[in-house]
Amino acid sequence: MSSFFLLFAVVVWGWSFVATKICLESLSPVELLGLRVFIALPILFVLAHLKGAKLVRNPHVFRQLAIGSTIITAHFLIQITGLQYTSATNTGWIISITPLVTVALSYVFLKEQISRFTIIGIVIATAGILLLVSHGNLMNFDWLKSFGDWMILISAHTWAIYTVATRDLTRSQSPVIVTIGVLIPTAVLMLAYMLFTSDWGSFLHLPAKVYLALGVLAILATALAHWFWQEGVRGLGAARAGIFLYLEPIATTTLAVPMLNEEFGVFTAVGGLLVLAGVFIAQRKSEKAS
């Protein structure tokens, strides 16, 4: 079940880059994040009530939630800002470096074991990423000259840090409660800033596609996907959960090409197959070995 939770989360997050590009046509990064979290939180509270989930209160938990909230807020703002200056497809592939960072941090700070099959899977998937971003020319890294691409690259690291920082929380607390706990401060900060900077009346006259994209971001990508991600991390650990993020660019590309008319070529196809092969090896073999 943990694998299903993680698969759902990363596919939806892959789509979320396309939805974010659509929303940024009418909203600023702060407005997008504020509205996204504001809509998601009531849904999460309902889910918590239905599951009977409650926060086990102690100073250590509140400190970890505060750290997680700080990281996730920075992550969202960095990533959304980056998407203003780069494509959804590029974002999907750049973000795929996250599992490498997650595995390294998990090994150093959480003492999680890494099997040789996981390493082989990471190497194969990384080869696919390199093929994709270089368009077949491994010496061509012009994609890293863009401000937007650098912001997305930074956001890959912030997500890895968030995953590692909140792993123990998901083992002592309900994952849906953890998700609520880290998003409440984000919502308060963003909405407080919007009170003084945004024209709230304009939110009632957004294009229909922006409302639809915002719904995908709030309901699927924030409420459900973040909860499912915490469930998956609790079940499989931060390092193995991070491997699933290699599927994110596949989901992004399948939606960005028809909806945003972004490019899809032979190296995208070959690189994508390598990514899928790497994920398959890292997950299936690791499960047999464990």
Count of structural domains within the chain: 1
Helices (H), the chain: 2-23, 29-51, 59-83, 88-94, 98-105, 116-134, 147-172, 175-197, 208-215, 225-236, 238-243, 248-260, 266-280, 286-289
**How large is the average pLDDT for residues 248-259?**
88
Higher pLDDT, 203 or 288: 203
- Asked if the model's pLDDT at residue 131 lies above 60, the reply is yes
Centre a 10 Å sphere on the Cβ of residue 208 and count the other Cβ atoms it contains: 7
Highest mean pLDDT among 39-53, 92-106, 139-153: 39-53
What is the pLDDT averaged over residues 179-208? Answer: 94
Q: pLDDT tens for residues 161-177?
A: 888 888 778 777 888 88
Lowest mean pLDDT among 24-38, 71-85, 126-140: 126-140
More confident residue, 192 or 105: 192
The pLDDT-based confidence of 38 (bands split at 50, 70, 90) is: very high
Average pLDDT along the chain: 86
Q: Which two tokens stand for residue 114?
A: 């890494």
Domain residue limits at 223: 2-289
In the predicted structure, residue 209 carries a pLDDT above the cut 70: yes
Q: Which of 5-19, 56-70, 93-107, 153-167 has the highest mean pLDDT?
A: 5-19
Compare 72 and 61 and report the one with higher pLDDT.
72
Cβ-defined contacts of 264-271 (< 8 Å, 24+): 264/89, 265/135, 266/136, 267/131, 267/132, 267/134, 267/135, 267/136, 268/89, 268/132, 270/128, 270/131, 271/93, 271/128, 271/129, 271/130, 271/131, 271/132
For the segment 16-31, the average pLDDT, to the nearest whole number, is: 96
pLDDT grade for 290, boundaries at 50, 70 and 90: very low
Residue 186 pLDDT greater than 70, yes or no = yes
Is residue 237 scored above 70 in pLDDT? Answer: yes
What DSSP state is assigned to residue 282?
I
Q: Which two tokens stand for residue 254?
A: 């399948």
pLDDT band at 142 (very low <50, low <70, confident <90, very high): confident
In which band, very low, low, confident or very high, does the pLDDT at 140 lie, cut at 50, 70 and 90?
Answer: low
**More reliable by pLDDT, 130 or 48:** 48
Overall average pLDDT of the 82-88 stretch: 91
What's the pLDDT score for residue 84? 93
Q: What is the mean pLDDT of residues 132-159?
A: 79
